[in-house]
Amino acid sequence: MEDMNLLFCAVSAAALDICALVLIIASYRERSTGNKQWKKISADMELVEQGFTYHLGCDEILIGRHASADIRLPDISVSRYHAMLTVADGVWTITDIGSKSGVYVNGNLVKSKKLCENDVITLGNRKLTLRKTVNPKKERRKNK
Amino acid sequence: MIKNPFAYLFSCLFVLAAHGTMLINIFYNGKYDDIKDLIILAAAVLGLDISYYIIMLFFKQYTYTIDFMLLLILNMSVIFQSCFGGVSFSAKHYITCIAALTACRFGHMLTCNHNWIQQQKKYVWIGIGVLMIIILIFTGSRSMWINIGSFSIQPSEFMKPLLVLACATSITEQQKKHKVWKFDIVWENIILFGITAAVCLFQWWCRDLGSIPTFAAIYAAGFFLRICYPKAKFSNKTLIIAGSVVLVAAIVGIKIAPEYVKDRLFVDIWSDKDGNGYQQSQALIAIADGGWFGKGPGKGYLHNVFAHESDIVFSSISEEWGLLYAIMMTLVILLIAASPLINPPRSYYHGTMCTGICAAFTVQMALNIFGSCNMIPFTGVTIPFISMGGSSMVTSGFMAGMLVAAQSPVFRKPKKKKSKKPANSSARRRSAA
Amino acid sequence: MKSIRRCQHIITIFLLIFIAGMAALVIKINREAPFYMMNSDHHELGMVYDRNGEVLFDGQGTGQYPDNYFLDVGNLIGDDKGQMENTLVARNIKKLNNYSFSEGLLETGGQAAIYTTLDHYANRAVYDAYAGARGCTVAYNYKTGEILVCASVPSVDVTKGYADIANFESGTLISKAMYGTVPGSTQKVSTVITAMESLGRDRLLAKSYNCVGRYLNANGDYIDCHNVLGHGTLNLQQAVENSCNPYFAQLVSDPDLPLENIIQGYRRMGYAVNDDKEEYFNIDGIICEKASTTLVDKNEFRTQWGCIGQGDTLVSPVQLMMWQSAVANGTGKMTMPHLIDRVFSVHGNITQIAKTKYGDKICSEETAQAVRQILLTNGSNNYSVSIAGYNVGVKSGTAQVKEGAEENSLLVGFLDDARHPIAFCILIENMYSTTVTTEQLATVLLNALCS
């Protein structure tokens, strides 16, 4: 009887463990689904600056010199909190949040502007380009 | 459901398997007078599993794992609650579990669009105020329960998700600063502080001291995620120093606290094990008696002790199912709270919301489990999803729904609904397909 | 992004703190589970044995034993029924319980056991020798601290239950050796030790006082001697042998011996003097009362009477016995008594082995050896007939209790024998109601232990 008790306890505990594990694995599977979904929502864009690429992973992106900014541009010409990128319905918008040197899109000083692909954003001395995400793997495949 | 068919199929099967093995365990080891009781329980649990799988097919979400986890833990709790001191189906708990699942769906629907819910913040504030007034008027004589017939509702529970919503914020909100005499002030933060202080004072007045740490933790998480955006430098060093100052102050405060406060904080339960320490000492004895693998479902003794199904539920489960199982149960709840780590939210608002929910869940569990095991002062706080109690179950379900929302968000600007809706919804349809 | 990652960090912190708490909880429960089970109403206790392997307590109640087999140790070993709290079993349920967290409470096959240092044969012999008298006897090995005999009469056979508890005599359910009693003249040993520590051996030995049957102190109160004719002029050795009250009253009021020194000396020996906090020591969990007395003014009756061992002074027999060990060892250090020799866990592993421990030094070696010689001389001069065949150092005492209505007889001492280093304290209550004497009991005790 004692052995039976132990056995079934162990079995049910193991079943719970495996179930939790399966759910974690399923959650990881969903993560890739979520990423794909996000690409659709965010129009699959990224910011590029002279070889550096900044991934745009959420719908509000703070650009500035401050350490807490999502995209940090350590340049004295950039304000601590310079501009904010937001996305809605697959369209990215840049908004000036009280910067000193202003936000320029394709050379025009703007307060807030919707962005198109390959727009160049100038913050102080830094120039950033918004473009479709380039997937290195796909690139390689194309080259082959 | 359609995106990852195999993952979901396996999830469905293993959730069923987990419940099935529990039921088999009861069948062989449990204490029941009539096999009918067990059959009713099994039918109810497995029936709920399967019907929820079917219902879930009608909801288009990106992620379903939290739903599965929720179903897993809720039906586990139905089995636990039905077994205390002999198997008999706990219909009351079953109904509250269904209510919790429904609340989860509501939670998801309400909060999946963060832009929309953010605009409703005023109503959240008003909601908290209304709840406080309701408690003031209806509970009477400074208690925390409203009795309607045989039901009793604990309105303060409903304040938890509202406070989480009030604490959640977007970065844009944090940038709306107003200059008031040299200081940049975000009005929302001031209002939030006022609300939290009011809620805590109110709980104090209601003698529901046990809930204050939960509210404080939700606020602390929210506060921390807000002060990251001041204009001046606010380095980690400063934060660590501030944290340690608070810690030292707390320790000094405990040291110099008056005697009667100390008595409440440090109760020697063993010298008073038939009086004030009765519940806790019995709870600890029950855990010790259960050992790693428990005495067997229904064979416990603790069901004779007051609040065995809510305040000291961890010990009741430990006694009958074993400490190992009880710990794994808490791990499943932790998994629910930890899901934003695997599948990150896509907006700061949802991120702060998840943090607040995680704070609420872990603090409530900690207060309950560690309190009943005499590691910290004992308070009558419930474990989310496990403890018997309608208000707590519904609230926890709602908060789980908010976590689902953070992982399956809808990005839509409510103002531009009309013009953009067709394009967007078609995009969503495409993505779901 | 950074902002989302920040949220995740905070979630991680919350989860980690909780998991750390859970880990602490598991460790705590694992460590303290036997203690929790001790407080449960449900036990599966193991066996308690004496030093020769005889059963003193049967936790399972399965063995067959002769009638009243456990009577002599009933109020010392006790049981888990809750009627007696200050007993070996009640205080050590945690060690005796057949419980481990991983296996739970074992109804069969548990091997938890306590081997005590008691000698059941000697204990029974002493218990039987009381033959209707009341009192207690405690004896231990003053080299190792093993308690060999601890009998308290009357006692209870735990196998017979407590249905008749209303008719139990008072004192049945306690081991009297652990509780304070009026020490009578055995207190004079303490006073001699204290005086010798203060004055030095030679000065004290040189002092002599005159006894005329009673002594009128400076406050105008009389200290009576049991010899109404008086002992004449006495030195210390004669005073101890005659147990002369006027000698000790005059010693206490001697201007060479300040009261402060007496109080300090008593405190070193473990007395709670005047308003000192009452303290306890424990013998393997069994609580034992410490000595207490009142010393206010050296010319006052109450103080002098206290130093002679009457009035407010209370000492437990165990402590009287422990002081004898300090004297008998000649080191001035008390040997701390213990009752548990070794403890076996539920799996049969030894979890505790007794070690000899020594208490604080109560006097210098010189004092201890001088007092030892005084007691040995007393033994050979006055007890060589009544405790025949043993070279003992003893001091007797007669204590007035119940405001003089009854007198208790006490005998403390030690056996000067390297093979049997035994210190003992024997108490007979209401000595005039019985023909048994402390010397007879001492003979029975030593015969049983030295055979």
What is the per-residue pLDDT across B175-201, written as a single tens digit (0 to 9) for each? 777 777 777 777 888 888 898 888 888
C4 touches chain A (CB under 8 A): yes
Secondary structure in 3-state letters for chain C: CHHHHHHHHHHHHHHHHHHHHHHHHHHHHHHHHHHHHHCCCCCCECEEECCCCCEEEECCCCCCCCCCCCHHHHHHHCCCCCCCCCCHHHHCHHHHECEECCCEECCCCCCCEEEECCCHHHHHHHHHHCCCCEEEEEEEECCCCEEEEEEEECCCCHHHCCCCHHHCCCCCCCCHHHCCECCHHHHHHHHHHHHHHHHCHHHHHHCCEEECCEEECCCCCEEECCCCCCCEEECHHHHHHHCCHHHHHHHHCCCCCCHHHHHHHHHHHCCEECCCCCCEEEECCEEEECCEECCCCCCCHHHHHHHHCCCCCEECHHHHHHHHHHHHHCCCEEEECECEEEEECCCCCEEEECCCEEEEECCCHHHHHHHHHHHHHHHHHHCCCCCCCCCEEEEEEEEEECCCCEEEEEEEEEECCCCCCEEEEEEEECHHHCCCCHHHHHHHHHHHHHC
Host H or E run for residue B111: helix B91-111
The per-residue pLDDT for A107 is: 86
Mean pLDDT to the nearest integer, A101-117: 87
- Does C15 contact B334 at a Cβ distance shorter than 8 Å? yes
pLDDT of residue B234: 56
Can you tell me whether residue B41 is helix, strand or coil?
Answer: helix
**Number of residues that make up chain A:** 144
B173, B219, B284, B321: best to mutate for the C interface, most C CBs within 10 A:
B284
> A10 touching B, CB under 8 A?
yes
The number of CA neighbours under 13 Å toward the Cβ of B192 is 28
B416 — pLDDT class (breaks 50, 70, 90): very low
Give me the total of CB pairs closer than 8 Å, taking one residue from chain A and one from chain B.
Answer: 173
The better pLDDT of the pair C80, C147 is held by: C147
pLDDT score at B432: 39
Q: What is the mean pLDDT of residues C12-35?
A: 92
Alpha carbons A111 and A83: distance in angstroms, whole number: 9
What pLDDT does residue B424 have? 43
Mean pLDDT score of chain C, rounded to an integer?
A: 89
Cβ–Cβ < 8 Å for B368, B387: yes
Put simply, whether A59 touches C (Cβ < 8 Å) is: no
Of the candidates C15, C36, C99, the beta carbon closest to that of B362 is on C15
Residues 6+ apart with CB under 8 A from C304: C217, C223, C248, C249, C252, C253, C298
Q: Is residue B421 in a domain?
A: no
Whether residue C204 is predicted with pLDDT greater than 70 in this model: the reply is yes
**Quick one: which H or E segment has residue B131?**
helix B121-134
Cα–Cα distance between C244 and B23 in angstroms, integer? Answer: 84
A107-119 mean pLDDT: 87
Indicate yes or no: CB of C37 within 8 angstroms of CB of B288: yes
| pLDDT at C221 exceeding the cut of 50 | yes
Taking the alpha carbons at both ends of chain C, their separation in whole angstroms is 88
d(CA B403, CA B340): 8
The arithmetic mean of pLDDT across residues C424-429, rounded, is 94
Query: What is the C-alpha separation between C189 and C327, in angstroms, rounded?
Result: 10
Give residue for tokens 């929790």.
Answer: C36
Q: What is the mean pLDDT of chain B?
A: 83
Q: Above 70 in pLDDT, residue C291?
A: yes
Q: Do the domain assignments include residue B161?
A: yes
Please compute the mean of the pLDDT values over residues B83-102 and round it to a whole number.
89
Q: Looking at the predicted structure, is the pLDDT value of residue B150 above 70?
A: no
CB A19 within 8 A of CB B18: yes
Residue partners of B185: CB distance under 8 A and separation at least 6: B177, B178, B179
**pLDDT grade for B204, boundaries at 50, 70 and 90:** confident
Residue B428 has pLDDT above 50, yes or no: no
Higher pLDDT, C302 or B145: C302
Mean pLDDT over each residue of chain A, to the nearest integer: 82
Residues within 8 A of C (CB atoms), A 66-85 only: 68-70
Residue C115 pLDDT > 90, yes or no? yes
pLDDT at B1: 52
Task: Please state, as a whole number, how many other Cβ atoms lie within 10 Å of the Cβ of residue B421.
Answer: 12
Distance between B191 CA and the closest CA of chain A, angstroms: 23
For residue C23, the Cα-to-chain-centroid distance in whole angstroms is: 43
Least CB-CB distance to C4: which of A57, A68, A69? A57
| Interchain proximity B369–C6, CB inside 8 Å | no
Task: State whether A87 and B411 contact (CB < 8 Å).
Answer: yes
- pLDDT, one tens digit per residue, over C55-68 is 999 888 788 888 88
For residue B149, the SS3 value is: coil
What number of C-beta contacts closer than 8 Å exist between A and C?
Answer: 17
Put simply, the answer to whether B335 touches A16 (Cβ < 8 Å) is no
> Two tokens at C102?
């991983």
Contact residues, C window 146-205, toward A, CB-based 8 Å cutoff: none
Distance of CA C128 to the CA centre of its chain: 21
Nearest to C14 among B330, B351, B362 (CB): B362
Model pLDDT for residues B214-269, shown as the tens digit of each residue:
998 999 888 888 877 655 555 667 778 888 898 898 888 777 766 766 666 666 77
Q: What is the pLDDT of residue A132?
A: 84
Q: What is the DSSP string of B294-352?
A: -S-TT--SGGGSTTTTTTTHHHHHHHHH-HHHHHHHHHHHHHHHHHHHHS--SSHHHHH
pLDDT computed for residue C34 by the predictor: 87
Q: Which CATH architecture has domain C178-339+354-450?
A: 3-Layer(aba) Sandwich (3.40)
Task: From C162, C133, C194, C141, select the one nearest C370 (Cα to Cα).
Answer: C194
Q: Which of A2-11, B311-320, C434-443 has the lowest mean pLDDT?
A: A2-11
Residues 339-358 of C with CB under 8 A from A: none
Do C15 and B330 count as a contact with CB atoms less than 8 A apart? no
pLDDT in tens, B331-385: 999 999 999 999 888 888 999 999 999 999 999 999 999 988 888 888 878 898 9
Residue B431 falls inside a structural domain: no
Across the range C257-279, mean pLDDT stands at: 88
Residue of B119, B342, B118, C5 lying closest to A58 (CA atoms): C5
Among C27, C108, B334, B28, residue whose Cα is nearest residue A10: B28
**CB-CB contact of C291 with C313 (8 Å):** yes
Angstrom CA distances, A50 to A53, A54, C6, C165, stand at 8, 11, 27, 96
Kindly state whether residue B298 falls inside one of the protein's structural domains: yes
Higher pLDDT, B423 or C73: C73
Decide if C1 and A57 are in contact by the 8 Å CB cutoff: yes
Pairing of strands C232-234, C209-211: antiparallel
SS3 of residue B140 by DSSP: coil
* B58 contacts B367 by C-beta, under 8 angstroms: no
Q: How confident is the model at residue B46 (pLDDT cuts 50, 70, 90)?
A: very high
pLDDT band at C368 (very low <50, low <70, confident <90, very high): very high
CA distance C328 to C331: 8
Least confident among B413-427, C311-325, C334-348: B413-427
- Quote the pLDDT of residue B413: 65
Question: Which of C5, B229, B226 is closest to A66 using CA atoms?
Answer: B229
Once rounded to an integer, what is the mean pLDDT over residues C203-218? 88
**C90 CA: distance to closest CA in chain B (Å):** 15
Query: What's residue B415's pLDDT?
Result: 55
Domain count, chain B: 1
Nearest CA in chain A to C106: A2
ipTM of the complex: 0.88
Give partners of B (≥3 CB pairs < 8 A). A, C
**What per-residue confidence (pLDDT) applies to B429?**
41
Residue A22 contacts residue B14 (beta carbons within 8 Å): yes
Query: Which H or E element spans position B427?
Result: helix B417-432
Which pLDDT value is given to residue C178?
92
Kindly tell me if the per-residue pLDDT of C207 is higher than 50: yes
Residue A34 to residue B14, Cβ atoms within 8 A: no
At A52, which helix (H) or strand (E)?
A: strand A52-55
Residue of B nearest to C42 (CA): B289
| pLDDT at res. B431 | 41
Distance CA B357, CA B402 (A): 8
| Residue B395 located in a structural domain | yes
- Host domain of residue B203: 5-410
**Which positions in chain C touch B228 (Cβ < 8 Å)?**
3, 6
- Give partners of A (≥3 CB pairs < 8 A): B, C
- The fraction of chain C above a pLDDT of 70, given in percent, is 100
- pLDDT band at B419, cuts 50/70/90? very low
Flag whether pLDDT at B120 surpasses 50: yes
Taking alpha carbons only, the member of A62, A60, A79, A80 closest to residue A71 is A62
C29 and B CB contact within 8 Å: yes
Q: Do C2 and A68 touch (CB under 8 A)?
A: yes
Return the ∠ at Cα C344 (arms to C339 and C345), rounded to 5°. Answer: 130
φ and ψ at C431, to 5 degrees? -60, -25
- pLDDT range class, residue B50, cuts 50, 70, 90: very high
pLDDT beyond 80 at B391:
yes
> Does residue B66 carry a pLDDT above 80?
yes
- C-alpha torsion angle, residues B419, B422, B427, B432 (rounded to 10): 140
Question: For tokens 């219902």, what's the residue?
Answer: B55
Count of residues making up chain B: 433
Cα B390 from Cα B150, distance rounded (Å): 12
Given a cut of 90, is residue C16 above it in pLDDT? Answer: yes
Residues of C in contact with A58 (CB under 8 A): 1, 3-4
Name the more confident of B433 and C257.
Answer: C257
Q: What is residue C297's predicted lDDT score, i.e. its pLDDT?
A: 85
CA–CA separation, B253 and B251 (whole Å): 5
- Is residue B353 assigned to a domain? yes
User: Chain B: nearest CA to A79, how far in angstroms?
Assistant: 10
Question: If DSSP states are collapsed to H, E and C, what string results for A12-34?
Answer: HHHHHHHHHHHHHHHHHHHHHHH
Q: Are strands A60-64 and A71-72 parallel, antiparallel or unpaired?
A: parallel
Token pair recorded at residue C150: 């601890």
Q: Where are the domains of chain C?
A: 178-339+354-450
The whole-model pTM stands at 0.80
Q: With an 8 Å Cβ cutoff, is A13 touching chain B? A: yes
Q: Within 10 A of B40 (CB to CB), how many other CB atoms are there? A: 16
SS3 of chain A: helix, strand, coil, percent, to 5: 35, 35, 35
Per-residue confidence band for C356, with pLDDT thresholds at 50, 70 and 90: very high
Whether the upstream peptide bond of residue C154 has omega within 30° of 0, thus cis, is yes
Distance between CA atoms of C185 and C196, rounded to whole angstroms? 17
Give Dmax over CA atoms of chain A in angstroms.
Answer: 82
DSSP-assigned letter for residue A81: S
CA C176 remoteness from chain centre: 9
- Mean pLDDT along residues C439-447: 93
Query: Distance (Å, rounded) from C-alpha B264 to C-alpha B377?
Result: 7
Give the pLDDT band (50/70/90) at residue B149: low
- Output the pLDDT for position C109: 78
Q: Are B235 and B365 in contact (CB under 8 A)?
A: no
**Nearest CA-CA distance, residue C6 and chain A, Å:** 9
